[in-house]
């Protein structure tokens, strides 16, 4: 049984939500190492931007693989 588009989106968002917390917290360690001086507000905006990109990427890849599997089955 394949996933519906809604299920694919829900999975992608759930996966990315966990990554969001990890990514946001890691900005406080990584940015200073590469000489990027920031603050919590900027870190949050950057993390939100990359989170949106990640959700879209995960959704598109999931749908692509799902369609590929369906075409092989048919």
Is pLDDT at 59 greater than 90 in this prediction? no
Structure tokens at 23: 């990514």
Q: Per-residue confidence at 40, pLDDT binned at 50, 70, 90?
A: very high
Domains in the chain: how many in total?
A: 1
Q: For position 15, what pLDDT does the model report?
A: 85
Q: For position 1, what pLDDT does the model report?
A: 62
pLDDT in tens, 7-33: 988 887 888 889 999 999 999 999 999
Q: For position 9, what pLDDT does the model report?
A: 80
Calpha distance 25→17 (Å, rounded): 13
Is pLDDT at 62 greater than 70 in this prediction? yes
Residue 42 belongs to domain spanning? 5-73
């Amino acid at each position: 049984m394949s996933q519906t588009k809604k299920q694919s989106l829900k999975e992608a968002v759930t996966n990315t939500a966990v990554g969001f917390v990890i990514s946001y917290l890691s900005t406080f360690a990584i940015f200073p190492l590469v000489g990027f001086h920031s603050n919590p507000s900027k870190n949050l905006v950057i993390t939100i931007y990359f989170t949106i990109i990640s959700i879209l990427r995960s959704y598109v890849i999931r749908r692509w693989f799902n369609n590929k599997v369906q075409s092989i089955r048919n």
